[in-house]
Homo-oligomer: A and B are copies of this chain.
Amino acid sequence: MNEYPEKLEELLFLLRNLPGIGRRGAERLAMALLEWNQEKLSDLGKSIADLKINVVNCPVCGALTGKGESCRWCSDPRRDEKLLCVVESALQIYSIEKSNSYSGRYFVLGGKLSPLNGIGPDELRVKELDTLLEDGGVEEVILALGNDVEGRATAAFLSDHLKSRQLKITRPAAGLPAGANLSYADGATIAAALSGRTGC
């Protein structure tokens, strides 16, 4: 016999699949939902059920976009077609956009190489990247795949994969984050910052 009514247990079970939501958190969310009016519950239910119908990946670059729409970056003539920034997931595009420092286009790779998790080149959108680059126009590819082991391995793989093309291939600088105090920076970061030092 379940503790809560059966249909409530079903909701708790589904909610616990969300990141950071355990048994207690799911109970808290479900109890809050029970206080909502029916209209709001229907809206949220429909919004979730239709999420992947209404929000899709741009067929060109993989960024999130509305159903049947070209994404706002691919369809914006002011974006620099000569620059292509490769990111792991569509979410990271928004982080880069917030920096107000990039005016080129994007390409979502769909993950990073991770042999232990069974993610090899075939699981990533490498063919789609090749297709996009075949169309020409791109002069520089920025491999913004994160500065962890998997990100660096993926960048190394892509750099090798793309070397036959007439492309400039770059990656974001590694070094001290903005506002960082040298006292609290780890050794690997200081080493990267020193080896990549620039003129003042």
Contacts and interface: CB of A to CB of B under 8 A. Distances in A.
Given A3-B94, A5-B66, 19 more contacts: A4-B94, A5-B54, A5-B65, A7-B47, A7-B55, A7-B66, A8-B51, A8-B64, A11-B48, A17-B32, A17-B36, A17-B40, A18-B33, A34-B51, A41-B49, A42-B49, A44-B48, A44-B49, A45-B48
Contacts of A131: none
A50 interface: yes
Interface string A89-117: 10100100100000000000000000000
Contacts of A44: 11, 14-15, 45, 48-49
Chain A interface size range: 35 or more
A28 to B, nearest CB: 6
A198 interface: no
Oligomer copy total? 2
Contacts of A25: 20
